[in-house]
Amino acid sequence: MKMSQNDQETALPRCPGCEEPLEPGDLFCGACGYDLSAVPEPPRDRPTIAIATAAGAPAGAGPEEPGASGDFELAAPAPAADGTAPDPRAAADPVAAPPAGTKVCVACRAGRVDNDGYCENCGHAQPRERDHMEQELGSVAAVTDRGLRHHRNEDSFAISTTALPDGSPAVLAIVCDGVSSASRPDEASAAATAAANESLLESLPRGTHPQQAMHDAIVAAAESVNRLALEPGRAAEQDPHRHQNAPACTLVGAIMANGLLFVGWVGDSRVYWVPEDRSSPPARLTEDDSWAAQMVAAGLMNEAEAYADERAHAITGWLGADSYELEPHTASFKPDRPGIVVVCTDGLWNYAESAAEMSAAVPADAYERPLHGAQVLVGHALDGGGHDNVTVALLPFAVPVQGAGSAYSGG
């Protein structure tokens, strides 16, 4: 059983500058760029007090630093030979301009960004490419965001379209959520997303039934994550604080084809159905692989009690070399009216858990503007606190013309 990001957060140390959670071994805060090497060494005789005041000791709490007394003064710059006052900006040593083509810091606009994503001049953490990503492909769209509490985005998504053997279109969305208690969760989610998407784009045009194609895509994704644990040159010392667990992630996906909707998942990322006509009832189409879901299924707790428990988000199924026997879940549906398919990680549904809450959060024009709808949903999670990475894909579902027929039967 693995714990989700929210369950791990309270155990992590906090940045002295912004109070954001830190990973063991971090040299800079990923949220504000605080140089953690500058945090003073706590006194050995009162460690608990020193930790609590690491952001800045109270006045008189320790010996004065050289030059800290009030009689220290800066020397005034000498006037120029012609008697004019010197330019005060010239008093400081200028930062040498980085060579052409070098990535420049977004904060100081002068320092070069090193390979780890920090400015060599001011130490500011630079936005990573995955911190916020958006994609629109025809009528399908997806957005992912790092959120407000985590130093990197461990979610990943893929949206794509292809054609079935009869020439009819198929629309795909895959969303993965890295397991933060495992090593390299960001790589796990990226590998799983790419493998599942590639598998679907290869099998659907060959005529594989979409539900079987989704099952095979999840297996391919699991194999890609398993391979990460076997990669040479990725020894435990490169990630010492997470070496105990192999890379892992959850996965959820959806396929729209021939008037049918096919979903597949492992873990606690979800698919919701929100009819365009909001007077019709919405629905959640997946069941979590989680402690809470097990308690409800066993009749030991009702849903409200289970999800209020601190163990609720401990997942019981995931992709990774240390997972239990892989059990991909798949299902098919035949909606009788237009609607929006919402494919998301728990970073969103934590703030809109029930189908009714998700329906209320999806904007009224999401069917016509799926990218805008996905942006609004990510904003909904950020406004709620943004405690986790947030990823959502929206697939507007159109009901086929009456009598058009379907190559597949619903399930």
pLDDT digits (tens, 9 = 90+) for 214-267: 999 999 999 999 999 987 655 444 444 444 589 999 999 999 999 999 999 999
Contact, 210 vs 408, CB < 8 A? yes
pLDDT at position 21 is 72
What is the reported pLDDT for 64? 39
What is the per-residue pLDDT for 116? 73
- Each residue's pLDDT tens digit, 63-90: 333 333 333 343 444 555 555 555 444 4
Among 292, 184, 162, CA closest to 244: 184
* Mean pLDDT confidence for 124-142: 88
Mean per-residue pLDDT over the chain, rounded:
80
Over residues 257-283, mean pLDDT: 97
Bigger pLDDT: 312 vs 48:
312
**Confidence category of residue 55, pLDDT binned at 50, 70, 90:** very low
pLDDT band with cut points at 50, 70 and 90 for residue 35: low
pTM comes to 0.70
Task: State percent of the chain over pLDDT 90.
Answer: 55
Choose the weakest-confidence range: 51-55, 61-65, 190-194, 267-271: 51-55
The per-residue pLDDT for 115 is 77
Supply the pLDDT for residue 59.
Answer: 38
Q: At 74, list the tokens.
A: 């800066």
Average pLDDT over residues 315-324: 91
Greater confidence (400 vs 387) lies with: 387
Mean pLDDT for 194-207 is 98
What is residue 260's predicted lDDT score, i.e. its pLDDT? 97
Which of 145-154, 235-244, 329-338, 398-407 is the least confident region?
235-244
Residue 124: pLDDT band by 50, 70, 90 thresholds?
A: confident
Model confidence band, residue 338 (pLDDT cutoffs 50, 70, 90): very high
pLDDT on residue 235: 44
